[in-house]
Amino acid sequence: MNVTEPLFESDTDTPTDSEPHLHAPEPSWRILDDADPLSRAAVLTNQHHLAIARMCVPDVQECVADVSSRLGVRLGVAEHRALSYVCIGFMLLNFPRLAANLGQGHLSFDHVRRLADSLECLPPEFHEVVESDLLQALSPRRPLQATPSVKRVGKLIRDIIYQHHPPARPKDPDEKVRQEDKGKPHQPELGWDERGAEVTDFFLTMNKGDSEEFIQMIKSVCRQEKCSRGAALMLLLRGQCTTEVTLNIYRPATVSESEAEPGRVWIAGDWLEQEASAEWMQRVTHVASPGWARCAGYQPTPTIRASVIGRDGHCRFPGCDVIAERCDLDHVNRWDHSQPLGGSAETSTSNLHCLCRKHHKLKTAGQWDVSLFPDGTEVWTSHGDGHTVVTEPGGVLGRETFERRASRRARVLAEHNRIRTEADDDEAAENIPF
């Protein structure tokens, strides 16, 4: 699916006086709200972890086994946990500006450990530029903003390191593709284990694009035949049923080639590599430009669904990162099923958002209220304690700020110059006289 600069606004999108407003005047992390004693306790705990890490830094010539065993005993933790403190301590020494930022106590031990593990192999000559980009990426953009998940922080640091020094790109804990295959379309791999007396276990590995197609086909047959996933697969294999599914892929449509992402498309919550993206673009049957839209009924149209999924990117509940394709589309203002047209609610991009099934049920149960603003920002208010927290959309159709535009253009230019330099080097090598 080819998209232009998306707009999610209409004459009805302007917040009314009855909608909640952001309480803090400046961007901030919700956890740093001094008025909340529970948040203060969490911040102190996070700061204590940093203090412990600083005290655990050994001399670089010391033996790892000796240090980890001593620290494990003194801290009363497993040796691998003690080594995590050491790794964090070295990070705090090597990245002083990041250390000062983390000193606020807004990130948990798990967040900081992921950062330390990711930065451990980065050569010193890249420390300053990566640190600058990381501080910018980890800054709040909204008042009372929710803390990003550990997984999301890990992705941020991976992308930043990959941009500046690809050989030091940290491993993705969920990544099953072999490193030597990185950048190539991963072909489906099927294996099985026949050792069971009564059953055979099958193992199927696919890239993100193919797996999304496979999952949607199985789900479609399940709905159509009212059967289990296993039964749906057998029906497809035996040719006893057919199904059609529509997959939405996203790619920027820009004024000039110099501003475009270098040949990559977004599907199932991530960017595909260029070669895999090219294969998917050959299968495109329809091109659309998602934007603000609404319909009369309860169920959203395919265009509305594609727009909301592309805007949100993941579950919009604070701290949740379930990808949008695995979420329900929920009406922000409740749909009144007793009324023919839903009462005061409407089915539109300005009244729909992505929620995973767990948090959908939580909102439906009345535990939280939420307001959706024209730029995609959401304000969540807990009925349990009255606290408010802000989340931002994480999809590819979110509004582009000048800051993000500059970052994207710099990334595209760097890729262009890399390809140009490689071409010049190849030409020079061919012209070497013998």
Nearest to 248 by CA among 221, 287, 282: 287
Query: Is the residue at 357 inside a domain?
Result: no
Q: Residues 347, 353, 354, 356: what is their CA dihedral angle, to the nearest 10 degrees?
A: -90
The pLDDT of residue 331: 94
Q: Does position 14 have pLDDT exceeding 70, yes or no?
A: no
Going 89 to 90 to 91 to 97, the CA torsion angle's sign is: positive
Q: Does position 244 have pLDDT exceeding 60, yes or no?
A: yes
Query: Is the residue at 73 inside a domain?
Result: yes
Q: Helix/strand/coil (H, E, C) string of the chain?
A: CEECCCCCCCCCCCCCCCCCCCCCCCCCEHHHCCCCHHHHHHHHHHHHHHHHHHHCCCCCCCCHHHHHHHHHHHHCCCHHHHHHHHHHHHHHHHCHHHHHHHCCCCCCHHHHHHHHHHHCCCCHHHHHHHHHHHHHHCCCCCCCECCCCHHHHHHHHHHHHHHHCHHHCCCCCCCCCCHHHCCCCCCCEEEEECCCCCCCEEEEECCHHHHHHHHHHHHHHHHHHCCCHHHHHHHHHCCCCCCCCCCCCEEECCCCHHHCCCCCCEECCEECCHHHHHHHHCCCCCCCCCCCCEECCCCCCHHHHHHHHHHHCECCCCCCCCEHHHCEEEECCCCCCCCCCCCCCCEECCCEEEECHHHHHHHHCCCEEEEECCCCCEEEEECCCCCEEEECCCCCCCCCCHHHHHHHHHHHHHHHHHHHHHHHHHHHHHCCCC
Nearest to 369 by CA among 334, 393, 344, 394: 334
Give how many domains the chain has, as a whole number: 1
pLDDT tens-digit readout, 63-105: 888 888 889 999 999 999 999 999 999 999 999 999 999 999 9
Q: Span 201-225, mean pLDDT?
A: 90
Q: Span 296-319, mean pLDDT?
A: 90
Query: Is the residue at 428 inside a domain?
Result: no
The two structure tokens encoding residue 61: 């010539």
Query: Can you give the C-alpha Rg of the chain in angstroms?
Result: 25
Query: Is the residue at 423 inside a domain?
Result: no
- Round to whole Å and give the CA distance between 387 and 296: 34
Query: Is the residue at 177 inside a domain?
Result: no
Query: Is the residue at 231 inside a domain?
Result: no
Residue 391 exposed, middle or buried by CB count within 10 Å (0-12, 13-18, 19+):
buried
Domain that residue 129 falls in: 34-139
The pLDDT of residue 172: 79
Q: Does position 311 have pLDDT exceeding 70, yes or no?
A: yes
pLDDT tens-digit readout, 392-415: 998 888 765 555 555 556 666 666
CA distances from 212 to 3, 175, 235, 311 (A): 20, 16, 19, 18
Query: Is the residue at 41 inside a domain?
Result: yes
pLDDT band at 137 (very low <50, low <70, confident <90, very high): very high
The pLDDT of residue 408: 58
Q: Residue 2 carries which side chain, given as an amino acid letter?
A: N
Q: Span 222-231, mean pLDDT?
A: 93
- Round to whole Å and give the CA distance between 202 and 194: 9
pTM: 0.67
- Round to whole Å and give the CA distance between 89 and 56: 7
Give percent above pLDDT 70 in the chain. 80
CA distances from 140 to 106, 209, 274, 392 (A): 11, 32, 31, 10
